[in-house]
A = this chain, B = another copy of it.
Amino acid sequence: MTEESLLEIIRQELPISHPSLIVGSGDDCAVVRPPPEGHSLVLKTDATLEGIHFTQETDLSAVGWKALCRPISDFAAMGAIPQHALVTVAAPLARSENEWRDLSRGIGKAARTFKITIIGGEITRSPTTLFISVTLSGITGPRTLLRSAAQPNDLICVTGKLGGSFQSGRHLTFLPRLLEGQWLAAQSGVHAMMDLSDGLGSDLPRLARASQCNFLIEENNIPCHQDSSTQEAITHGEDYELLVTIDPKAWLKLHADWKNHFPALELTPIGTMTSLKTPATPIPPGFDHVEDFKRPL
């Protein structure tokens, strides 16, 4: 297997052409047409590592799916539209041609599902474990939702159910809420949004800090997966659901419209944003990437 023959295997599995692509994989850089007038450029990078985001036994097509879907979830959280991906894979010696094909197939499936073109990347060897880094570029939707725009009295809502993602394997098969995020960003009563990757217990305080607010949570209202307790729904990460704050005056109409558009996915109010004068509901933290350095792999 040479670099060129491996690249050929990978190319077979990946969507690599797009109307906006001027120079694709194979030259020093990729060149694409700029965003259409009125849109800004959106960029996000996310890494997926063996020993953290999956284990040595995980099916590599699921790993490829997850590697691409993680940054897609960040685009969802801003109501943005992903278009192009750059994929870097550092793999140990032992990975076979079939494993490369599986990994490429998973990346390709996610790319096709969400209409993303792979425009470049790199393969290199890793001393011990598999490492995948994905950068997505795309464009803003009609409105860009930030973490910092929540207001006191906003309802705090989450999509879907939380908890137990890693234990159940859902972290490998989740569907990023891309259409839902784009729809929410188009509703005028929606103020702030982010995706839940490190767990509600870490992510909600981040959104509150960015918005200079506090929050009150009704823990009993948190939608938990059947296999998870409320505590687990707060502290487990990798849900990839949306956390969104909504003007309470807009809620009833918006919720009715939501149920029409997304009948299979719940949007659940779990609390209220407050001013900094109200102490926040104490909740245990989720995942901290640096604190986690102290845990053995």
Interface residues of A (CB under 8 A from B): 1-3, 5-6, 22-23, 26-35, 39-47, 49-52, 74-75, 77-78, 80, 84, 86-88, 90, 93, 119-129, 131, 133, 135, 137, 140, 144, 146-148, 194-195, 210, 288-294, 297
Contact = CB atoms under 8 A, between A and B. Distances in A.
A39 B35 CA distance: 11
Can you tell how many copies of this chain the complex includes? 2
A90 B49 contact: yes
Contacts of A293: 1, 93, 125
A24 to B, nearest CB: 11
A29 B42 contact: yes
A121 to B, nearest CB: 6
Name the 4 nearest CB pairs between A and B, nearest first: A133-B133, A28-B77, A135-B135, A45-B86
A289 B126 CA distance: 11
A144 B3 contact: no
B23 A32 contact: no
Contacts of A51: 127
B45 A40 contact: no
Contact of A41 (B32, B80, B88): B32
Given A2-B288, A44-B120, A45-B87, 15 more contacts: A2-B290, A6-B290, A22-B40, A29-B77, A31-B140, A31-B144, A34-B39, A43-B135, A47-B133, A50-B127, A88-B133, A125-B293, A127-B129, A131-B131, A137-B137
